[in-house]
């Protein structure tokens, strides 16, 4: 058994093109039916504005697969803590014996979630963009923009959050890190109307983006709605999309933005919806023309967790890192009497 700490993982697993590549391969495997992925298990802690998800997926041919426990407690900012936390466990696909625990405290989830957003933009955002809009000021608001920078060049970021103070901190930090202008704006409408690509990163229960704000050529990646009661996009936004993509239809029609559009009758089950893996495997085309409105609904998948956990394990082991525990247990004799 190996145990890896958050400190080690942050030092040697980065949000880079290699991380994007392994997550993209995960989506391709999913589209090509090489993945066993059960539905998400979730525990809601409503009185603390929190939730805990358990996700997993086995990819054929891989020696191990991940089981990930991920929490989101959205009042944590009030006590100076990040909203996300968790850990991952790698299980032998041959014996079922646990092989490693990655005590990442949610870091690997941040990496793989941001990677999915960048992959969506790679296929759906216009090649040349000027302005990126972000709604939300938490960790994903940061990681998503860093990941987007790996696949698109842009010159400015517009940020809107419920807390103006947190938005100002975001603007200062991200401007320094990206070396571009990051502006705080006064509304989500201002973000949408003035951005080429928009990323929503909130746990909103009521839509933060209205369809009337959309304009030709805009791309929206919505990654906050991962439970039945969450919704970042007005359902009409999905109905107006010329290209509508999600990580998995089965998951999004149950707890993503997609299920609100279905419930309101704005989309039917026959509507042409593309899964992200169909784009990465080249089974389907992404953006079809410059004026097309594109939307990607991301709920987070177990295959992303297995992909990033295996990648992190390889990075750690080849460097000789981690605590290795060897527990030699003597064979037990079975009493046949």
Hey, which residues are catalytic here? Answer: 68
Residue 130 has phi, psi (to 5 degrees) of -105, -45
Q: Give the whole-angstrom CA distance, residue 334 versus residue 9.
A: 42
Q: Give the whole-angstrom CA distance, residue 55 versus residue 196.
A: 32
Q: Give the whole-angstrom CA distance, residue 250 versus residue 243.
A: 18
* Integer CA distances (angstroms), 177 to 149, 155, 263, in order: 11, 13, 41
Within 8 A by CB and 6+ apart from 131, the residues are: 154, 155, 156, 157, 158, 194, 195, 196, 197
* Integer CA distances (angstroms), 316 to 11, 38, 271, 304, in order: 10, 28, 44, 18
Token pair, residue 251, equals 């998951």
Which of helix, strand or coil describes residue 58?
Answer: strand
Of residues 152, 100, 92, the one with CA closest to residue 127: 152
Residue 157 has phi, psi (to 5 degrees) of -125, 135
Which of helix, strand or coil describes residue 335?
Answer: coil
Q: Give the whole-angstrom CA distance, residue 235 versus residue 210.
A: 8
Of residues 114, 103, 80, 101, the one with CA closest to residue 7: 103
Q: Give the whole-angstrom CA distance, residue 256 versus residue 244.
A: 13
């Amino acid at each position: 058994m190996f145990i890896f700490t958050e400190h080690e993982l942050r030092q040697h697993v980065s949000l880079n093109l290699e991380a994007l590549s392994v997550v993209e391969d995960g989506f391709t495997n999913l589209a090509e039916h090489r993945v066993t992925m059960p539905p998400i298990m979730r525990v809601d802690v409503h009185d603390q504005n929190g939730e805990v998800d358990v996700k997993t997926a086995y990819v054929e041919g891989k020696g191990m697969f991940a089981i990930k426990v991920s929490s989101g407690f959205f009042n944590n900012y009030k006590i100076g803590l990040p909203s996300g936390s968790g850990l991952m466990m790698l299980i032998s696909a041959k014996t079922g014996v646990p092989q490693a625990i990655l005590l990442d405290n949610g870091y690997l989830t941040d990496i793989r979630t941001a990677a999915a957003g960048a992959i969506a933009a790679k296929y759906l955002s216009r090649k040349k963009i000027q302005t990126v809009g972000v709604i939300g000021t938490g960790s994903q608001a940061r990681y998503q923009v860093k990941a987007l920078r790996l696949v698109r060049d842009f010159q400015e970021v517009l940020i809107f959050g419920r807390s103006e103070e947190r938005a100002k901190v975001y603007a200062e930090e991200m401007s320094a890190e990206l070396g571009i202008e990051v502006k705080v704006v006064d509304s989500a409408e201002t973000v949408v109307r003035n951005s080429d690509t928009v990323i929503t990163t909130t746990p909103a229960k009521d839509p933060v983006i209205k369809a009337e704000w959309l304009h030709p050529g805009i791309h929206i990646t919505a990654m906050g709605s991962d439970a039945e009661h969450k919704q970042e996009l007005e359902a009409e936004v999905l109905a107006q999309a010329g290209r509508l993509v999600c990580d998995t239809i089965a998951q999004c029609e149950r707890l993503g933005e997609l299920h609100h559009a279905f419930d309101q009758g704005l989309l039917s089950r026959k509507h042409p919806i593309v899964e992200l893996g169909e784009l990465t495997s080249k089974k389907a085309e992404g953006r079809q023309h410059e004026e097309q409105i594109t939307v990607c609904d991301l709920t987070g998948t177990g295959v992303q967790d297995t992909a990033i956990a295996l990648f992190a394990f390889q990075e750690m082991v080849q460097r000789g890192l981690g605590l290795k525990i060897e527990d030699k247990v003597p064979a037990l004799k079975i009493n046949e009497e």
